Structure 1
């Protein structure tokens, strides 16, 4: 029923472009300035220009090729607030690049072979819904735009698997699956209509119902990947095999730095007709987190345990400032009823039951709304960002308290709120929203300070920097410390697959 609701209401009240890049709201509001600055806002100064002779060869390979500062800005612009900061100041976010659109595997292979032979970096992009700067070409070179690799290739009704290309947008895929085959991926990110399947895989994404259906790494059964050499490999396809490591997982979450994903096979599920929900209030966010922990450790997996802290509970639902928990599930009625009954029993031991109907309906109606990131008024500015992370249940209360306190103490910060969006038996994802009001000239410094302070807390308290948005530009400064000895393993994998450091250079410190 929850997944079916998409057929009725669609995505984001129609505020998006179907099957193509949707600009963030600040662009439609006319806040993007002409690019007049000379120095890129991001990167370490290493820039690789593409010679005109190579550009001409690319024109013979790709479906379309674009060059120049304005084209680079328009065709690499994403949903990261860092890009917004640059473009609303009239600065380039990155060096100029050559944007090559490709709609077929052979084109992808040809571009990578040409780039490898000439030492030119390649950054892959499609939906550009990322909020971390993961598809920005920090060293110029080539941007390989694969959003037109957007075919749904087939469906296996016995295995319940769907096969598609990486440029398929989430809403297009889900509509086809539901109407043609009566199934759903169960993958419902807030960015559904802005994001592509390839982006989900590359950033190890998660949807709103992940407690029932899993994250994207749980859904992918097979991948085709073009390596930096131009070689095409197929990984996976042998479910639960014990023939060495699961190599497809190397590329799930690799953010385009190890290879280019060109085909994905996903598990699907029969489209449910039945849903049930319940709601409870708690005095504190910490008490709500503990209730969610106990529910998960009872062994039930409702589609979602959505916990809003006191500030968000009041802001979104007008509940008077209490922490609010929404339990919801969909599927076979017998399984759903048992799941919600057990979850409710546990929730009620420390919480107070409230009328779930208006809460569920409000969440259902607004779950795909993508908020604004920036606004100007006179000489001041308001801006916002979200920061999601994951940690064990024992660590989350202190991380929540410290991020609220320490980010809240930064001059200009006026809101630090949070909700828990994804839960497991041992851990959960907490999703912070941070807002500031400050002079326009101070925006970039405040923004960097927010991330510095928050990620320092997360590392010190033994959390993980990201649950589903990935690293990109914004988290790169903290990756080595976060991974510890694992960073050398990652460097070795990168060196083995991409010795020329060609794919998405500058991210992860690689």
Structure 2
């Protein structure tokens, strides 16, 4: 064993031939019991944990339930319901369906394939045809999928769910799928919001959901070269927790970090909230393995960069399950930052805030996270503030008087920016001074560390708000894009105007929720997130109405110079625009790779491409 190998810390017992690097004899064994059913912890028809969510309590107030998982857990939000009622005509008397038990008798019948099942059984941890397992693996988190589940309108389901335990298991399962002509759809955390996990209705073959979550080990950590080698089914928060115990982090923190997997990050080209320091997923990946119907794809070198033709990693990144299944990933890691500090800045309007974040990007002094909320999101955040003490309420009112009376801010125009700074104490202090100095040039006023932390953490509970809306005839969702700096302001205005016109045209009666934020910054532009929702009472097919409005908004985004997606991916709901985004020739390149690697369309989820492949 080489000296270099000795510096790699083995995290899990495994077969040497299944790893892509030599392993030291120093092992830390982690015991794990299987299976932990997803439905025992997570909701089957909504976002997140079963014990967490926004509910209207017996006192008529909205509170956030849960066992201390979030900063809002167990908190009563006295201002939230009145804000929703006054601003968006939110009506808690319009109670609809509230997490009904699924009628498993209505689950689609299995398309059986006993020869495949018998052949694959020795090569997986478990294989299931249980109705609940099939239901859980039949969907992601688009409005369409969740609304259908909650109303009992089931579509095509996977026929079997298979849990592999190693890379070699996956190789065998895929080779047997080829032999028996079985359709395979990879499954990680199930958090997808592009329809990518929906089973194609027209698929007549047996469909297998390949659940990667039992491949959740850190195989080794190389402290000398600052890399970690993991199985692709490891969930983001579990990866960070185990790295933290050893003094490291990846820094990749998407909104879905609690539930999404490393393989899912790679398959969708994900981005995290702290990408300014740590990079997007394509910046973090050093090496990966993907099993295709033609065999395993992997590089021989773990060097930091190569010049050996087009980078095969970029065929895998963003492939969305159409070429194969990602099994192992080597990622960059960093020592944990010495200090973490939140901050916030309040601006008179969104335009001033855009000027600030643009200047920060131009001067290349962005903190780990910098996110700008427009007025609607700012007011929503204020309405979600927990009940305060008398003294705290008094000081908050003084701050508002100062902003409006002495600084001339208008409440219905105020925008806010949240900051997260990481580094040494000296680096954080220097960066903080520089950021607030730039903010002052744009009329920005420091809003305090607590507001910065609250705004940052709010991101992790946004999806729970959407689920509460389902219970009271309210439909909502988010979508994102990336756009050049000189188009940010106009794009926000034009998309919001377009959504309002479409709502009116399609018969949406009450004022819709529409807000935007800048979430990631680059030299040449930014990522923009839009949040949109409306009361659907009186609409015959609310999901179809939503999809028409979102499609119109996407048309507006593309017309305004925005991208088809920044990090959610294409899936099925956006693939109609792929040719406009990549050109006919570009799409033909993707189709050629698909046909070469998967001529039988074994990985038949039908994401990205309009063709049957």
Q: TM-score range by the shorter chain?
A: 0.7 to 0.9
TM-score, normalised by the number of residues in structure 2: 0.74
Q: Indicate conservation of the 8 Å contact 1:124/1:504, yes or no.
A: no
2:486 alignment partner, SS class: coil
Query: Hey, what does 1:12 align to over in structure 2?
Result: none
Offset at 1:316? 0.6
Q: Indicate conservation of the 8 Å contact 2:517/2:529, yes or no.
A: yes
1:272 alignment partner, SS class: coil
For the pair shown, the structure with the greater C-alpha radius of gyration is: 2
Query: Hey, what does 1:492 align to over in structure 2?
Result: 592
Query: Hey, what does 1:4 align to over in structure 2?
Result: none
Residues 1:360 and 1:145: Cα distance change in structure 2 (over 3 Å)? same
What is the aligned counterpart of 1:389 among 481, 496, 502? 481
Distance 1:36 1:407 in 2: 39
In the alignment, does 2:332 pair up with 1:270? Answer: no
Q: Indicate conservation of the 8 Å contact 1:125/1:145, yes or no.
A: yes
**For 1:55-74, what per-residue CA distance to the aligned partner results, in whole angstroms no more than 9, with x for missing partners?**
33233432222237654223
Q: Which deviates the most, 87-96 or 143-152? A: 87-96
2:464 alignment partner, SS class: coil
**For 1:7-64, what per-residue CA distance to the aligned partner results, in whole angstroms no more than 9, with x for missing partners?**
xxxxxxxxx9999973366485523642676899xxxxxxx94533223323343222
Pairing of 1:22-37 with structure 2 (within 5 A): 22-23=42-43, 26=46, 28=50, 29-31=98-100, 33-34=102-103
Pairing of 1:342-491 with structure 2 (within 5 A): 342-369=434-461, 370-375=463-468, 381-409=473-501, 410=503, 411-412=507-508, 414-439=512-537, 441-485=540-584, 486-491=586-591
Distance 1:376 1:358 in 2: 27
Distance 1:123 1:437 in 2: 34
1:503 alignment partner, SS class: coil
**For 1:340-380, what per-residue CA distance to the aligned partner results, in whole angstroms no more than 9, with x for missing partners?**
333322222122213322312313553432424345789x6
Residues 1:37 and 1:458: Cα distance change in structure 2 (over 3 Å)? farther
TM-score, normalised by the number of residues in structure 1: 0.88
Distance 1:482 1:344 in 2: 38
Distance 1:235 1:425 in 2: 33
Query: Hey, what does 2:140 align to over in structure 1?
Result: 78
Q: Which deviates the most, 161-170 or 309-318? A: 309-318
Offset at 1:306? 0.9
What is the aligned counterpart of 2:344 among 253, 274, 279? 279
Residues 1:328 and 1:146: Cα distance change in structure 2 (over 3 Å)? closer
Residues 1:368 and 1:114: Cα distance change in structure 2 (over 3 Å)? same
Residues 1:18 and 1:403: Cα distance change in structure 2 (over 3 Å)? same
1:396 alignment partner, SS class: helix
Q: Which deviates the most, 445-454 or 500-509? A: 500-509
Offset at 1:97? 2.5
In the alignment, does 2:241 pair up with 1:149? Answer: no
Offset at 1:403? 1.4
1:239 alignment partner, SS class: coil
**For 1:423-455, what per-residue CA distance to the aligned partner results, in whole angstroms no more than 9, with x for missing partners?**
011111111111111136422212211221111
Query: Hey, what does 1:175 align to over in structure 2?
Result: 241
Query: Hey, what does 1:64 align to over in structure 2?
Result: 126
Residues 1:90 and 1:459: Cα distance change in structure 2 (over 3 Å)? same
Offset at 1:266? 0.9
In the alignment, does 2:312 pair up with 1:247? Answer: yes
Q: Which runs of 5+ in 2 are unaligned?
A: 1-35, 51-97, 384-399, 401-410
Aligned length in residues: 486
What is the aligned counterpart of 2:360 among 273, 276, 295? 295
Q: Indicate conservation of the 8 Å contact 2:196/2:605, yes or no.
A: no
Q: Which runs of 5+ in 1 are unaligned?
A: 1-15, 41-47
Distance 1:465 1:243 in 2: 30
Residues 1:334 and 1:19: Cα distance change in structure 2 (over 3 Å)? farther
Offset at 1:415? 0.6
Residues 1:159 and 1:121: Cα distance change in structure 2 (over 3 Å)? same
Q: Indicate conservation of the 8 Å contact 2:163/2:210, yes or no.
A: yes
Distance 2:37 2:371 in 1: 28
**For 1:231-266, what per-residue CA distance to the aligned partner results, in whole angstroms no more than 9, with x for missing partners?**
353466221222222211221111121221111111
**For 1:126-171, what per-residue CA distance to the aligned partner results, in whole angstroms no more than 9, with x for missing partners?**
2112222222332362211111011111111111111110111111
**For 1:175-232, what per-residue CA distance to the aligned partner results, in whole angstroms no more than 9, with x for missing partners?**
11011x2111111122111111111111111111111111111111110111222435
Residues 1:18 and 1:39: Cα distance change in structure 2 (over 3 Å)? closer
Residues 1:192 and 1:246: Cα distance change in structure 2 (over 3 Å)? same
Distance 2:352 2:604 in 1: 42
Q: Indicate conservation of the 8 Å contact 1:99/1:145, yes or no.
A: yes
Offset at 1:492? 1.9
2:545 alignment partner, SS class: helix
Distance 1:376 1:326 in 2: 26
Residues 1:270 and 1:231: Cα distance change in structure 2 (over 3 Å)? closer
Q: Indicate conservation of the 8 Å contact 2:127/2:161, yes or no.
A: yes
Q: Which deviates the most, 21-30 or 293-302? A: 21-30
Query: Hey, what does 1:505 align to over in structure 2?
Result: 605
Query: Hey, what does 1:228 align to over in structure 2?
Result: 293
Distance 2:468 2:377 in 1: 21
Distance 1:38 1:25 in 2: 14
Offset at 1:291? 1.8
